[in-house]
Structure 1
């Protein structure tokens, strides 16, 4: 008979299988093995998976890589024979601006007749930036803090950030022209919209040519939008030499999770809906569906929710809040387990990927003196989940395709 502890371990195995399927090194290596780039090539890699993706290119291209610049999140660097810059995330900081200066200088050094491979993954929007001279770092950080706490979804978030950058919204394409460019992308946005991944540095964006139609923006954001740098038109010649391909997506990770669940002997249900909106509502909704499902079934969801932050948020991120909300619905059950975690290995401004909860989570946290409802209200789910022993730590994963949620229902006592 499979013990409950084995079910927890199996959910973690399924999650790890999902991560392996979208690992940046593996995905870039396989793409370049199928269709290698000829001749000498320069490389730019930006994002949380930049180091892993650059390793994949190095595995195939080796000495054909003339020079490279890698920009990634602090703590996500990989050993590589080229400069690896670690910069701020989720807020742009001085290191992000320094990365922007280094990127502009690197592009200037690339011969006009050279080929360039650009590797982009989630996090690129914050990790490298070049601002218009009228916008200070302090004002830009104020804008980003407001957006992060506003509950705006990632698409609207990026619509604002693309307008305020000298690199995003196709502007890097203009800087690289007339060089030949292959852009390989690990997608971290709904619908795999290339304009939104890394804020679309190599993609034409018609939206930038229209007024921004978001309601309730504070005056200080409306004022700085007047200083938006010019962006290339969709028919600009700078886009003619650029080829773009997505090499890893959330759907790839979900499919791998389904296969892993089946190999472990479970039934598997691939949930097509994209999980978005408020994390607390999503956690309760998914836990309810899990509770009503057939025993022996693993549900595989994916998406990206939001958390409305109080003035002084505690420890945690959207996955921890979602998991704790699910745990409240599962309280007292001995037949259900639920996991929610970021595929990049981080959840909010923490080093935890998320959490794996069960029917005993609330009791364990309460016995340590914590209150789940208060923790959720304070955006402090991480403190409760640390006490209950349910946090997940993976370290940097070499990928970033949003969040995975897994639910397992068994018969009671199994």
Structure 2
């Protein structure tokens, strides 16, 4: 079996992964019982507007609420207000949204129900500085975290100790109302307490853990931020706090489910699929070396999988900023991969973020194959220098290989597919 149009095939796998992460089915399957009192919706994340629209279509009782999403990621809703704010670096609109959510849950009773719609990206969309910290401090923290190369779990453990809304604090503010959290996970391992820094789901990471992670990853943070975390009052609520006893948490979409859906589409097309992992972390360029080595092993030695085969993986890689170029973790992964498979015909790949945005530009990722590096050199560009400068977006834009599906309405993080024929 030979795929005549590899890019169309790879795109179909991405689309299948996104469809499997559609929040409607998950929300419908986990609708809570209607309360005696009010039903209040709070939402945060790059998929929260679509989640809100899905909930509205399923819920036939009274409903009110607010959800915050990234600029351009909104969806039409009738009963739930959608606020758009900045991502990945917070802005004033996000601060307004945080205050609105906290005010919305204030004064609820044990007859009331809060439905929390949480997806990846909520950390940046919900700035709410604690103590004497400012929004400028949160912006500085986010910039340092994004440049550090630290895994998302470490970032969110740090973030929740600087906030009045993260780390379960929004759910604590809603007490004694019951909180049902419906979560679309973009976190390797699918710990709901780490998605969007867990505004309604308390986690186990302590302020001591946060300080250890800052030292481990050598994250440069303002002195005021370190001083705040060192104070006992920065400690986030614990999972065994009695205020959370009646609450429920449901994972409604994840990378693992999406990869299985993509694998099914590949097999229907006559191509075997191998899922490597849904929880790959680490430097994007280093992860690419491993993927490229495995792809070459399959191509030349027909092991550990027989070709034709498509290798699938998910998770969330990171990029340590070394240069001043433009790009994201998926395009950086692909540029590193392209260098490794240069001239090796028979390998085509896509890497893209399932929310439709990789980094700060409008592409979800890109395509790469054995000709990518040579085409860049023909244009007078040096692939290795572009990788060194974190300039993968410029590289793939130059050769016309960016992948731009637009916002998808969900977010289960990275999707990678490498076709070997």
- Give the TM interval when normalised to the shorter protein: over 0.9
Check 1:269–1:217 CA distance in 2 against 1; reply closer, same or farther (3 A cut): closer
C-alpha displacement of 1:210: 4.2
Structure 1 contact 169–208 (Cα < 8 Å) conserved: no
1:399 is matched with 410
Q: What do residues 183-211 of structure 1 show as CA deviations (whole Å, max 9, x unaligned)?
A: 11001111111221111122233423645
Structure 2 contact 352–365 (Cα < 8 Å) conserved: yes
2:18 is matched with 19
**Would you say 1:225 and 2:223 are equivalent positions?**
no
Q: What do residues 198-236 of structure 1 show as CA deviations (whole Å, max 9, x unaligned)?
A: 111222334236453222344624223235545334332
Aligned residues: 405
Q: Which SS does the other structure have where 1:408 is aligned?
A: strand
Q: What do residues 62-118 of structure 1 show as CA deviations (whole Å, max 9, x unaligned)?
A: 4x1421211101110001113210112111221111111111222236555211211
After superposition, the CA RMSD in angstroms is: 2.0
In the superposition, the TM-score normalised over structure 1's length comes to 0.92
1:256 is matched with 261
Q: Identify unmatched segments of 5+ residues in structure 1.
A: none
C-alpha separation in 1, matches of 2:2 and 2:238:
59
C-alpha separation in 2, matches of 1:279 and 1:138:
29
Q: What do residues 148-173 of structure 1 show as CA deviations (whole Å, max 9, x unaligned)?
A: 11111111111110100101111111
2:50 aligned residue (52, 66, 79):
52
C-alpha separation in 2, matches of 1:333 and 1:209:
48
Check 1:365–1:305 CA distance in 2 against 1; reply closer, same or farther (3 A cut): same
**Would you say 1:329 and 2:340 are equivalent positions?**
yes
C-alpha displacement of 1:2: 4.8
**Would you say 1:179 and 2:177 are equivalent positions?**
yes
Check 1:274–1:230 CA distance in 2 against 1; reply closer, same or farther (3 A cut): closer
**Would you say 1:309 and 2:321 are equivalent positions?**
yes
1:197 is matched with 195
- The equivalences for 1:143-162 within 5 A come to 143-162=141-160
C-alpha separation in 1, matches of 2:357 and 2:108:
34
Check 1:382–1:209 CA distance in 2 against 1; reply closer, same or farther (3 A cut): closer
Structure 2 contact 254–412 (Cα < 8 Å) conserved: yes
In the superposition, the TM-score normalised over structure 2's length comes to 0.91
2:290 is matched with 285
2:276 is matched with 271
Check 1:350–1:25 CA distance in 2 against 1; reply closer, same or farther (3 A cut): farther
Check 1:36–1:57 CA distance in 2 against 1; reply closer, same or farther (3 A cut): farther
Structure 2 contact 43–117 (Cα < 8 Å) conserved: yes
2:383 is matched with 372
Q: Which SS does the other structure have where 2:412 is aligned?
A: coil
2:244 aligned residue (231, 239, 242):
239
